[in-house]
Structure 1
Amino acid sequence: MTETASEQAIPARPQPKAMLEVLHPITWFPPMWAFTCGVVSSGVDVLEHWGLLIAGVILTGPLVCATSQVVNDWYDRDVDAINEPGRPIPSGRLPGLWGYKMAVTGTVLSLILGAALGLWVFLATVVGLIFAWIYSAPPLRLKNNGWLGNAAVGFSYETLAWITGAAVMLGGAMPDERILWLAFLYGLGAHGIMTLNDFKAIEGDRQLGVRTLPVQLGVKAAAWVACVVMMTPQFIVVGLLFAWIQPVHAAAVAGLVMVQGVLMLRFLENPLKRATWLSGLGVTVYVTGMMVSAFAVRAAVAGNTPL
């Protein structure tokens, strides 16, 4: 019995380029950046613990985040066949169960490195991996609901990564309450960032019942929700920084919030066309504010300023 042309076109082994694509290296930046913010906010001298810094960056980016991307691509292969059929799994460039095997391997390696870095880091790794799987995999598949799915990603990529960075530097101790507040607020704001990413796949999501916010609320309403959810936690951060007697840092973050506001006004004029544009420019300003806030809380903790 002869093979069909389509069977002959699908390789038995994955192409190296396809394996790299499914890891989505560009997505590693947010959790790696949040981890670095946690390191800075801890107040510990980075040069004395540079090995931990490197290990933590590898854990949050090339391991946990990359694993979450492979899991998502594996369970999104039907959606991608409609929206982006050229991606590695639906196109067959990553054939068979290779995507699933990569996801499991990444999970195991993440747990091993997380355990080596201490109890708090291991627990954060476990939580992050749980979110990675339940976000994409049935039966929970949180991404089917934009409210739950975006929250899971925001808290994984920003809050958990930030707390992990601080905990690593503190030798596994629980970070200061002010650090936890910043990690929580920036993770909450990331919910809006995730909504921006949902505008590019509305048609396929609608066909397959993926209830992202643009699908649930409509384009205009979802655009407003994304902006409000991004901005509100940052206003709270500005207030906290003033309360912690860090006026210069607070003013800097406030300025960055104003810049985002200007960008958002332009985005709201045409959300479908400018969602990716805002995701690029606006998010860059957003994460800059994260680092400014990290230096602010570092100073507050060092100076024992009141909560």
Structure 2
Amino acid sequence: MGNNITTPARGVVLRRIPATAVSDLVHCLSEARPIVQAIFLLRFLTGAALGYTAGTDIATVAFGAFSWECAVVFVYLLNGTSDVLADRVNGSRRPIASGALPRRTALRYARVSGLLALACGLGMGAEFFVAVAGFLALGYLYSAPPFQLKNNSGATIAVVVLGGLMTYLAGSVSAGEGGGLPQLLCAVAMSLWMGLVGAVTKDFGDVDGDRAAGRRTVAVLLGERGARHLVALLAPVLGLAFMGAALHLAPVLVAAAWVTLLGALVVAGLTLASPGGGRAARRQPYRAFMTTQYGSHAGVLVGLAL
């Protein structure tokens, strides 16, 4: 059987989408890490929820979210194409590292996703378009040579924090209004949580690959033990600071702050535990960090609903 379907009544030929194209798209979405795409969407929607007013158009927020997710796919696909050596040393099973997705194909889909993000962003207005373009540029500087900011620990943290702040800002812009102090506090607290806790714990299981690729992550510079002690200190400090700020400045965020503080204590406990075991065991603090993120953002939505 061929790849065409003929409709006898009208003689219309309908061309099937090649199976390889569908497979490549699925692999690209997998390489872009669905769990990360989901948390970026939740950050965006939280920004929109904190900026929500009676005049907010839900369809506009949804269109903005689609544009932002396209930008996220671009950033993480590009990152995947630049991390092949480290991923293979670390035993990653993501599509590019495993050979299931050709690097050239991933780059082609990344370009399409980036252009789609810009086109949709342009339809959202100048402010949103600038945010999308800035986010794409940040992702490019992070992964693409000769810049590759990912190879420097300080630059990595700065990129992660800035990318988080831009996501909340874009969500707010899509809603049409600023969320005031609660939105600013949430954006800063969660972005610092991403940069100072998430960006460090993510590398606990990747030290060998990062060292082989020449990356100077916190775990490479301080050693895994030193990086764990740093996270065990920073996570509770951030949780306590968020709680204190929420209690005094933004009561609507108290539920989110409680979740963050409890999650910070769990992360600290896991980071101080023995780092023995395989890569999966070493990534337990990062999984706790991710779970806390989801819970914290759910806490924001609960606080707004009460």
- Do both proteins adopt the same fold according to a TM-score greater than 0.5, normalized to the shorter chain? yes
* 1:245 Cα offset (Å): 5.9
* 1:169 Cα offset (Å): 0.5
Q: Deviations over 1:16-66 (max 9, x none)?
A: 3433332322220121111111111113259x52212322332233x1111
Aligned-pair RMSD on alpha carbons? Answer: 2.8
Which one of 121, 128, 144 corresponds to residue 151 of structure 2?
A: 144
Which one of 37, 59, 69 corresponds to residue 28 of structure 1?
A: 37
Which one of 168, 171, 180 corresponds to residue 176 of structure 1?
A: 180
Check if 1:219 corresponds to 2:227.
no
- Amino acid aligned to 2:134: V
Which one of 28, 33, 36 corresponds to residue 19 of structure 1?
A: 28
Do the aligned residues in 2 keep the contact of 1:89 with 1:95 (CA within 8 Å)? yes
- Amino acid aligned to 2:34: P
Do the aligned residues in 2 keep the contact of 1:199 with 1:272 (CA within 8 Å)? no
Which one of 39, 44, 59 corresponds to residue 48 of structure 2?
A: 39
Structure 2 length normalisation: TM-score? 0.80
Partner of 1:304: none
Do the aligned residues in 2 keep the contact of 1:77 with 1:89 (CA within 8 Å)? yes
Do the aligned residues in 2 keep the contact of 1:186 with 1:233 (CA within 8 Å)? no
* 1:272 Cα offset (Å): 5.6
Which one of 163, 167, 174 corresponds to residue 161 of structure 1?
A: 167
Runs of 5+ unmatched residues, structure 1? 1-12, 300-307
C-alpha spacing 1:42/1:203, structure 2 compared with 1 (3 Å): same
Q: Deviations over 1:193-249 (max 9, x none)?
A: 121111121111111211111111111211232344444333332222222262x75
Check if 1:277 corresponds to 2:284.
yes
C-alpha spacing 1:251/1:52, structure 2 compared with 1 (3 Å): closer
- Range that drifts further, 99-108 or 228-237: 228-237
Check if 1:125 corresponds to 2:129.
no
* 1:168 Cα offset (Å): 0.9
Residues of 2 paired with 1:259 and 1:85: CA distance? 26
Partner of 2:213: 208
C-alpha spacing 1:162/1:271, structure 2 compared with 1 (3 Å): farther
Residues of 2 paired with 1:283 and 1:153: CA distance? 14
Do the aligned residues in 2 keep the contact of 1:260 with 1:286 (CA within 8 Å)? no
Which one of 258, 262, 269 corresponds to residue 262 of structure 2?
A: 258
Paired residue total: 281
- Range that drifts further, 63-72 or 262-271: 262-271
- Range that drifts further, 113-122 or 95-104: 95-104
Do the aligned residues in 2 keep the contact of 1:22 with 1:70 (CA within 8 Å)? yes
Do the aligned residues in 2 keep the contact of 1:151 with 1:188 (CA within 8 Å)? no
SS in 2 for 1:181: helix
- Amino acid aligned to 1:118: G
Runs of 5+ unmatched residues, structure 2? 1-19
- Range that drifts further, 196-205 or 87-96: 87-96
- Amino acid aligned to 2:67: L
Partner of 1:89: 96
Q: Percent identity?
A: 22
C-alpha spacing 1:127/1:60, structure 2 compared with 1 (3 Å): same
Structure 1 length normalisation: TM-score? 0.80
